[in-house]
Amino acid sequence: MNVTIQKISVFLTAPDGQNLVIVRMDTNQPGLYGLGCASFAYRAKAVKQVIEEEFAPFLIGRDASRIEDIWKLLTVNAYWRNGPVLNSAVSGIDMALWDIKGKMANMPLYDLLGGKCRERVDLYCHCNAATQEAIFEKTDKAVAEGFKYLRVAYSDYDGPSGDESYLCLRNECKHYDPKRHMRSIVSLLEALRERYGDEKELITDTHERLDPADAIVLAKELEPLHLYFMEDPLSPENLSWLGRLRESCVTPIAIGEVFSHPFEWQQVIQNRWADFIRCHLSAVGGLTPARKIAMLAEQYGVRTAWHAPLDTSPISLAVQTHLDYASPAFGIQEYSGLSDASAEVFPGLPICRDGALWLSEAAGHGVEFNEKAAASYPPKEGPTRWTEMRLPDGTLHTP
């Protein structure tokens, strides 16, 4: 069957408050189409423009079965390559092509990737809140729902406050005290370890908000608490410090959510500087590079923990869960929760139950897209401000 690309449409929507970029690719075969996630929440319009004005005219009429060839073609199409805008645009096309391939084969995506390696995909859930008491309420609720893996942090990251809102949704400048963060997170994790003993796995996200020397100090202070991992202790600009961190203590490290260039994840994996690689699928270019990252990680004993915050669509969550099922390198899957609004916009999205994620088992990635419902949740307008993080003296600091 000759399946060619006939039309590419791009939609912006924000059912959970973060801008999502969704691609629909129609083929010359009636009823055969694919859906992909091109989400880059803070440059959504730029990604949409690349797909509509550059990729769509270039791809119409091409063979939809040639996923690897098209991925490479789009990656080098602008001559200069990589970066989150370009990679996210490529990701939307790539995931849609994989969805079409699965539907053509009448197989769920994990079967195309080699079949299941496990019977469930365990999750770690977010338990961020403004106060220690509120965090305890969230972790107790998560434990009652079957979660074993708990990621905790204060809403303001540097300590207790009166603001419960998710930092990335506030869109305002914030002053941040790294030393306060170090003191408060150690105290919080000590209290949680005392509360749950060794029965639960604890995780915390540093979100790259520490200088390298402080990151090493914090990782050493967390060592007696036996964390499942410490997430993103360093920014990509300071990756060479990871070797020193690794030599200083045994606290497991997870890193990679802002990676967008192969040199970043290649050196981390090959040097075994981290225990978990946690790239954002759209930022690296989709499923095609993600499966290669997982294969590379497997060779070096590094596990995957793909990034899945509110600015990852349910389509991307489903795609990475299929990869989780099929990859021997799977470690844990991040989960931020999905609202009723997301379920309305994305029928067939993965379901969280008993601390694990369950797929629809439909052909392809299994998630649909309700265009009418999506229009009820328009994208947020205006510039991004929450990344303007400043130290107490006013110095701009890496978020």
131 with 230, same domain? yes
Q: For residue 241, give the DSSP letter.
A: G
* Residue pLDDT, tens place only, 287-332: 999 999 999 999 999 999 999 998 999 999 999 999 999 999 999 9
Residue 1 pLDDT: 76
Q: Show which residues are catalytic.
A: 157, 207
Q: Which two tokens stand for residue 388?
A: 């303007």
Does residue 364 sit in helix, strand or coil?
strand
Query: Looking at the 3D structure of the chain, how many domains does it have?
Result: 2
Q: Is the pLDDT of residue 399 over 80?
A: no
Distances (CA, A) of 345 to 11, 15, 340, 341, 378: 12, 7, 9, 6, 12
86-103 burial, b at 16+ Cβ within 10 Å, e below that, comes to bbbbbbbbbbbbbbbbbb
43 with 56, same domain? yes
Domain that holds residue 118: 111-397
Q: Is the pLDDT of residue 129 over 80?
A: yes
Which CATH number goes with the domain that contains 37? 3.30.390.10
Altogether, the residues listed in the chain come to a count of 399
**What percent of the chain is predicted at pLDDT more than 70?**
100
Q: Which two tokens stand for residue 312?
A: 């990852």
Domain end (from 106, 141, 156):
106
Closest CA to 22 of 87, 127, 95, 123: 95
Residue 168 pLDDT: 75
Q: Is the pLDDT of residue 106 over 80?
A: yes
Domain end (from 48, 76, 106):
106
Q: Is the pLDDT of residue 39 over 90?
A: yes
173 with 76, same domain? no
Distances (CA, A) of 150 to 124, 145, 192, 227: 5, 12, 10, 10
345 with 225, same domain? yes
* Residue pLDDT, tens place only, 45-61: 999 999 999 999 999 99
168 versus 15: the higher-pLDDT residue is: 15
Mean pLDDT of 119-127: 96
240 with 135, same domain? yes
Strands 20-27 and 5-13: antiparallel
Residue 170 pLDDT: 77
Closest CA to 383 of 46, 157, 158: 46
128 with 75, same domain? no
86 with 122, same domain? no
Could you tell me if 202 and 228 are in contact, meaning their C-beta atoms sit under 8 angstroms apart?
A: yes
Q: pLDDT band for 167, please (50, 70, 90 cuts).
A: confident
Q: pLDDT band for 367, please (50, 70, 90 cuts).
A: very high
92 with 158, same domain? no
Q: Is the pLDDT of residue 378 over 90?
A: yes
Closest CA to 207 of 262, 268, 257, 265: 257
Q: Is the pLDDT of residue 164 over 80?
A: no
Give me the chain's average pLDDT, please: 95
283 with 388, same domain? yes
Poorest-pLDDT segment among 8-12, 162-166, 212-216, 254-258: 162-166
178 with 278, same domain? yes
Q: Is the pLDDT of residue 27 over 80?
A: yes
Poorest-pLDDT segment among 164-178, 184-198, 201-215, 297-311: 164-178
Residue 391 pLDDT: 93
Which CATH number goes with the domain that contains 155? 3.20.20.120
Rg of the chain on CA atoms, in Å: 20
Q: Give the integer Cα–Cα distance in Å for 149 and 122.
A: 8
182 with 308, same domain? yes
Q: Give the integer Cα–Cα distance in Å for 305 and 331.
A: 6
Residue 359 pLDDT: 97
192 with 299, same domain? yes
Closest CA to 389 of 181, 84, 81: 181
Mean pLDDT of 99-128: 97
Domain end (from 72, 106, 140):
106
Q: pLDDT band for 72, please (50, 70, 90 cuts).
A: very high
Mean pLDDT of 253-281: 97
